[in-house]
Amino acid sequence: QVQLVESGGGSVQAGGSLRLSCEVSETIFRFNLGWYRQAPGKQRELVATKDRWGSPIYAESVKGRFTISRDNVKNTVNLQMNSLKPEDTAVYYCHAHEGAYDYWGQGTQVTVSS
């Protein structure tokens, strides 16, 4: 079973930074990887994705502030979050996609205070 484990969440003041990391139990070379987030009472939304080769794709709300990266040797995908805003508060989920399969991490809470 493919398992994804997020870390790096926490509480930070507006304008601060956090770095999320997701460790995948299998080689990630074959996966498209991404980060999603979900605030209470809201739909889960895409934050950023990055395939094996190409350029990353970001939600417009985070473009210029967040950076997704992946390490195909360490089997990790990371999300560097800068200039955080209160509206970034959510549970952040790591996601891996391969063909017809989708895998999700357990989520990590990010809270940004004014």
Q: How high is the mean pLDDT of the chain?
A: 95
Asked if 76 and 21 touch (Cβ cutoff 8 Å), the reply is: yes
Q: What is the mean pLDDT of residues 14-27?
A: 97
> Quick one: tokens of 56?
């990353």
Asked if 89 and 12 touch (Cβ cutoff 8 Å), the reply is: no
Cα–Cα distance for residue pair 3/65, rounded to 1 Å: 28
Cα–Cα distance for residue pair 18/86, rounded to 1 Å: 13
pLDDT of residue 29: 86
Q: What is the mean pLDDT of residues 12-27?
A: 97
108-113 vs 90-98, strand pairing mode: antiparallel
Partners of 21 in beta bridges: 7, 78
Q: What is the tens place of the pLDDT at every residue in 35-84?
A: 999 999 999 999 999 987 778 999 999 999 999 999 989 999 999 999 99
Question: How many CA atoms does the CB half-sphere of 94 hold within 13 Å?
Answer: 29
